[in-house]
Amino acid sequence: MWNKLPKPELCLEHLEPEDQALFLYHYNYNSSIEKIYELPPHNKNQDKQTRYLGDKGLIVSMSYQPKKTIISKSNTPSITSLPLSSRGYPTSRAITTSSTSPSVNIKWIRVTLDWIISGLRPSIPTNQIYESSFLQLNQVLAKEGYFKYDPLSEPVLDHIIRQQDHDCLTQELPQTLLDYIHSHTHECHTRLSRLQHMLEGAGVDAQVLWKYTFAKAFVVGSGSLLGEEGIVRRIQDCEEEWRQKKLSFVRKLKGFPL
């Protein structure tokens, strides 16, 4: 739906081919379309248990379905001695088993209204989903002496959802949640939250990370050659290049809104 939204035609004839490619690369960028996420790690002991995946404007409830065992039968040579005739070795029926990858069952997806609208208008910022619950959690944790935690970690998302489903904002937190935050304080649980935190600390809009393939590869753990600091520096360099080029593009395109 989002990527079918028409955009105004641009007259790029005043730009060099290399600059045209750079302009279109940044101009057509929509983080809502480019976002990808890493699924929670699969643990066979947690099959069918509710798991959570989240971002600033959405939370996904899911579970893993157990692996299916496939049994296949085939006739294979039974080699116990030399062949007794020209017909070769005697055969016997062999049974082999193999397991498939676990499947994912999406239970529900909850998003904010601006998360939906941002797919049509990327300039619209996305607000924090269940903001009042997160603010309440911040206040309670501050009283316990915890000021930093990973809002995208599963224990935190589980607590937020329980608050919403029971329509209550409690001043008391489960001991299991406090223990988790105590052992993971100042620590980002997911690659996404770590990268977002580092970009914001460097003064870069965290939403631009989806613009770059090397950053998305890191988020989902698909073999990025760069570490976290290398990714942040590279994004900073690319965005600074775009900021400088953008000024000259505006003049050449006679004030076209960028």
Instruction: Give pTM, 2 decimals.
Output: 0.74
Q: Residue 93's beta-bridge partner residues?
A: 75
Dihedral pair phi/psi, residue 101, rounded to 5° = -70, 150
| CA neighbor of 25 nearest in space, from 17, 35, 37 | 17
Cα separation, 159 vs 180, whole angstroms: 12
- pLDDT digit string (tens) for 55-72? 999 999 999 988 776 666
For 73, other C-beta atoms within 10 Å of its C-beta total: 9
- pLDDT digit string (tens) for 9-49? 566 777 888 888 888 899 889 988 899 898 998 887 777 79
Q: Residue 108's beta-bridge partner residues?
A: 61
Q: Which residues contact 238 (CB under 8 A, 6 or more apart)?
A: 211, 212
- Residue 247 is predicted with a pLDDT of 83
- pLDDT digit string (tens) for 83-104? 555 555 555 565 665 566 789 9
Domain map of the chain by residue range? Answer: 10-36+190-257
Asked if residue 189 lies in contact with residue 230, where contact means CB atoms within 8 angstroms, the answer is: no
Element (H, E) at 73: strand 69-77
Q: Hunting for tokens 């929670």 — which residue is that?
A: 40
